[in-house]
């Protein structure tokens, strides 16, 4: 038995690794609350291994998948295997669990992987676009899962199912997201028909998102509004320091959100006062780095960017794990 610093008691095969994993979470910058949730997950997995009569060396991809399905059936505490990745990475770094390719969590994720390959190879879409399409249609596929989550019912897919999903889903979204959802859904239905997973094409059954002809173009912010927005960033906090730098780049350089999100530390040339911007596709552009933009970014790098951030992306999440920001 082991009790880690976050006061979670771990019993079973994972007990010898609890203290070390807790230390690794602290090193990576996890907050006490987030680290405690991770340790509770360790305790649950360890108890499950003990009940199954397994030791740590027997923990492979299929066993992890089975544990996730068991927890998902018991309640909403564990929705995805992604929650276990920090622990699995730690065990692998200690040579305890051999890294092995993991099948997706369920048939919906397996099909989405095939769909994304189709978008990349057959349709020529970039990874970012394919990821967005997959994210938009994932709820649709999950509605087709069997009660035990082990099978997809696509043979019985009908026009009414398509319409019902769009009518229920789209009112919850912005107009842009709703429009993208129906576009992605049409693309998915085309893929399902090509693959022979549905008997006939249901693309024509997807309703269109109503437009607003008289709404006009959206108006930009005036100078006072922009200044108030920048002033609202509390630069005495990591969040505020980062947000001020991001907004300054958007306002002064006219960059897209995705271009700011993809910015790397190596893209900033402080000696020449230039910034390298990676646009859509393979477009690369060198822009001058204004003094106020450089000061905002430098202040963030000195005082706001977490020291435990692992990658080279400039703007990262404040809370651990410190992954790169997305453009959403």
Domain termination site, one of 155, 183, 214: 214
Choose between 262 and 279: higher pLDDT.
262
Say if 28 falls within a structural domain: yes
Q: What pLDDT, in 10s, does the model give residues 35-56? A: 888 898 889 888 888 888 888 8
* Same-domain check for residues 88 and 125: no
Q: Indicate if 178 and 210 belong to the same structural domain.
A: yes
Q: Span 270-291, mean pLDDT?
A: 79
pLDDT(298) > 90: yes
pLDDT digits 0-9 by tens, 160-202: 788 888 888 888 777 778 888 999 999 999 999 888 898 888 8
Select from 246, 313, 253 the least CA-distant residue to 287.
Answer: 253
Same domain, 248 and 178: no
Cα gap 9→127, rounded to integer Å: 42
- Residues 107, 152 contacting (CB under 8 angstroms): yes
Would strands 9-10 and 268-269 be described as parallel, antiparallel, or unpaired? unpaired
Query: Where is the domain boundary, 178, 196, 214?
Result: 214
Task: Please check whether residues 298 and 232 belong to one and the same domain.
Answer: yes
Instruction: Tell whether 124 is covered by a domain.
Output: yes
322 within a domain of the structure (yes/no)? no
112 shares a domain with 192: yes
Q: Percentage of the chain with pLDDT > 70?
A: 85
Residue 231: per-residue pLDDT: 81
pLDDT score recorded for residue 137: 92
Looking at 63, 93, 123, which one is the last position of a domain?
93
Structure tokens at 230: 């920048």
- 111 with 210, same domain: the answer is yes
Same domain for 173 and 119: yes
pLDDT for the residue 140: 92
Asked if residues 314 and 327 have their Cβ atoms less than 8 Å apart, the reply is no
Q: Based on the structure, what is the number of domains in the chain?
A: 3
Q: Is residue 34, in this structure, part of any structural domain at all?
A: yes
Q: Is residue 102 part of a domain?
A: no
DSSP states of 200-217: S--GGGSPPPPP-GGG-P
Whole-model pTM: value is: 0.44
Mark whether 263 and 164 lie in a shared domain: no
Q: What is the CATH number of the domain that holds 191?
A: 1.10.150.130
- pLDDT: which is higher, 304 or 282: 304
Write down the pLDDT at residue 192: 92
How much is the average pLDDT of 45-69? Answer: 79
Distance CA 59, CA 96 (A): 9
pLDDT given for residue 211 in this prediction: 55
Same domain, 33 and 118: no
Domain check: are 151 and 69 in the same one?
no
Domain range for 142 is 107-214
- Could you report the per-residue pLDDT of 81-131, keeping only the tens digit for each? 677 888 888 888 887 765 554 445 578 888 998 899 888 887 888 888 888
Residues 13 and 88 in one domain: yes
Residue with tokens 């991770």: 38
pLDDT of 240 > 70? The answer is yes
Q: CATH code at 251? A: 1.10.443.10
Looking at the structure, tell me whether residues 32 and 127 fall in a common domain: no
Mean pLDDT score across all residues of the chain: 80
Whether residue 162 lies inside any domain: the answer is: yes
pLDDT at 74 over 60: no
Residue 287 pLDDT:
79
Give the pLDDT confidence score for residue 228 in this predicted structure: 78
Q: Please give the C-alpha separations between residue 212 and each of 198, 216, 217, in angstroms, as whole numbers.
A: 34, 8, 10
Residue 221: pLDDT band with limits 50, 70, 90? low
In a domain, 310, yes or no: no
In a domain? residue 122: yes
CA distance 245 to 237: 12
């Amino acid at each position: 038995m082991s009790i880690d610093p976050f006061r979670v008691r771990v019993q079973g095969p994972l007990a010898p690794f609890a203290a070390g994993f807790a230390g690794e979470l602290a090193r990576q910058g996890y907050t006490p609350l987030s680290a405690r949730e991770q340790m509770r997950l360790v305790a649950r997995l360890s108890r499950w291994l003990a009940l199954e009569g397994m030791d740590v060396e027997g923990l492979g991809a299929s066993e992890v998948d089975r544990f996730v399905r068991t927890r998902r059936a018991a309640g909403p505490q564990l929705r995805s295997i992604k929650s276990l990745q920090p622990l699995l990475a730690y065990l692998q770094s200690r040579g305890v669990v051999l890294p092995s390719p993991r099948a997706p969590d369920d048939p919906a994720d397996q099909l989405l992987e095939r769909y994304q390959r189709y978008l990349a190879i057959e349709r020529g879409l970039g990874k970012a676009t394919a990821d967005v399409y997959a994210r938009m249609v994932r709820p649709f596929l999950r509605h087709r899962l069997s009660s035990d989550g082990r099978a997809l019912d696509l043979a019985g897919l009908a026009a009414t199912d398509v319409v019902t999903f769009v009518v229920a889903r789209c009112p919850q979204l912005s107009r842009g997201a709703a429009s993208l959802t129906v576009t992605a859904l049409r693309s998915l239905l085309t893929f399902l028909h090509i693959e022979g997973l549905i008997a006939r094409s249901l693309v024509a059954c997807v309703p269109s998102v109503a437009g607003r002809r008289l709404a006009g173009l959206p108006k930009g912010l005036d100078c006072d509004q922009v200044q108030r927005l920048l002033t609202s960033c509390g630069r005495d906090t990591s969040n505020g320091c980062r947000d001020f730098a991001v907004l300054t780049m958007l306002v002064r350089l006219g960059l897209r959100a995705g271009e700011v999100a993809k910015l790397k530390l190596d893209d900033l040339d402080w000696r020449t006062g230039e910034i390298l911007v990676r646009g859509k596709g393979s477009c690369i552009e060198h822009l001058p780095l204004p003094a106020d933009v450089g000061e905002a970014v430098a202040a963030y790098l000195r005082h706001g960017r977490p020291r435990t951030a692992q990658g080279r992306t400039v703007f990262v999440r404040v809370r651990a794990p410190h992954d790169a920001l997305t453009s959403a």
